[in-house]
Amino acid sequence: MNQTPLLQVQDVRTSFAIKRKGSYFWQKPDTLKAVDGVSFELFAGETLGVVGESGCGKSTLARTIIGLVRANSGSIKFNDAEIVGASKKTMRIKRKDIQMIFQDPLASLNPRMTVGDIIAEPLRTYYPKMKKAEVQDEVRAIMKKVGLLSNQINRYPHEFSGGQCQRIGIARALILKPKIIICDEPVSALDVSIQAQVINLLQDIQEEMGLALIFIAHDLSVVKHIADRVLVMYLGHAVELGVDKAVYGNPTHPYTQALMSAVPLPDPIAERNKTIQLLEGDLPSPIHPPSGCVFRTRCPLADAECAQIEPVLEGTINHRVACLKNKVETTQ
């Protein structure tokens, strides 16, 4: 793995002003902290899996990196160039190298455009002087790469299945030959068999083109299959980060342990005998998060110290955990 990070995310915070229902115009809106101090690095050719329950900030983190949402503070560097606070013109240039695949394949495609026009749109945006015949050749080549037939180029999105629509989205993201692709739950709306096809396709393309992937998902078994490293998020915070073998083989944060216990095992005997760690209580409001450790209201290990001190990611280069009670052995 290249030791120079392709992407460096440092202490990124993204929040939104929320106006309370029935409040007066002079009252200050509440602040929803969607991403609260997340840091990680991404290397060329690597896949970083981002997991966590709904509302933990995974999609907001993705949209912040690509510039669809503005970060309030922190640093995001792509090839050592700062993205946070960059102008629209600069972000437009950077976005050529950082593309995104969205969760709902059909909703992310313009129903009034043909597949050929959808895939060709980035080329026409970034290379307006490119000849029409060259554009068509590029589109047909990328369609073949993702498993679509060239004679489907003039069809519309509603004529395709969900898996085919996601292949169209992948082709659109690949047409500019980016360095990073952010996959925001790209298989959650697909059948299991189609999920496997799309994941295998992404892995083949990654190996061929040397892409770096940020793969966001709820399904930890899917992330285990594709990710080199795993980032676990809870209520906008990064609670565990490490290589896949460390996080899956030795989940250390109580939240990660609870998530891992819910993953089905292929062995029916082991599945029947395993202990599922159920989380008590509801997910706290991101508008009024708990003091100290944000997970303490649902954590079986929490005590008075957890309400006073906010833990930070600590441990080794291969495995870091943000927990006051469970630590990563620095000798591993």
Q: Tell me, yes or no, whether 270 lies in a domain.
A: yes
Coarse DSSP helix, strand, coil percentages of the chain, rounded to the nearest 5 percent:
35, 20, 45
Both tokens of 294, joined, read 């944000």
Average pLDDT rounded to a whole number, residues 65-75:
93
Q: What is the mean pLDDT of residues 222-230?
A: 92
pLDDT digits (tens, 9 = 90+) for 99-149: 999 888 888 899 999 999 999 999 999 999 999 999 999 999 999 999 999
What phi and psi values does residue 78 have, to the nearest 5 degrees? Answer: -115, 120
Average pLDDT over residues 256-272: 84
The predicted pLDDT at position 39 comes to 96
Please report the pLDDT score of residue 14 as a whole number: 96
Nearest to 12 by CA among 78, 74, 70, 85: 74
Please give the DSSP secondary-structure letter assigned to residue 28: P
Which of 18-22, 153-157, 202-206, 212-216 has the least mean pLDDT?
A: 18-22
d(CA 148, CA 158): 15
pLDDT at 16 over 50: yes
Rounded mean pLDDT of 237-266?
A: 91
Q: Is residue 267 in some structural domain?
A: yes
* CA–CA separation, 279 and 259 (whole Å): 9
Range of the domain at 275: 7-97+178-321
pLDDT, averaged across the chain? 90
Q: pTM score, two decimals?
A: 0.91
Q: What is the pLDDT of residue 304?
A: 94
Of 238, 241, 262, 252, the residue nearest 74 (C-alpha)? 238
Is there a domain that residue 172 lies in?
no
For 71, the token pair is 């970060």
For residue 202, being part of any structural domain is answered with yes
Q: Is residue 127 part of a domain?
A: no
Q: What is the CATH number of the domain that holds 275?
A: 3.40.50.300
Query: What tokens does 58 get?
Result: 């995974």
3-state SS of 258-321? Answer: HHHHCCCCCCHHHHHHCCCCCCCCCCCCCCCCCCCCCCHHHCCCCCHHHHHCCCCCEEECCEEE
Least confident of 9-13, 32-36, 196-200, 239-243: 196-200
The residue-averaged pLDDT of 280-289 equals: 86
Q: What's the domain count of the chain?
A: 1
Predicted local distance difference test score (pLDDT) of residue 2: 47
Is the pLDDT at 72 greater than 80? The verdict is: yes
Domain membership flag for residue 128: no
104 neighbors 186 (Cβ within 8 angstroms): no
Say if 119 falls within a structural domain.
Answer: no
Contact 225, 195 (CB under 8 A): no
Could you tell me if residue 279 is inside a domain? Answer: yes
Q: CB atoms < 10 A from the CB of 234, how many?
A: 26
pLDDT at 23 over 80: no
Residue 165: pLDDT band (50, 70, 90) is very high
Average pLDDT on 269-297 reads 86
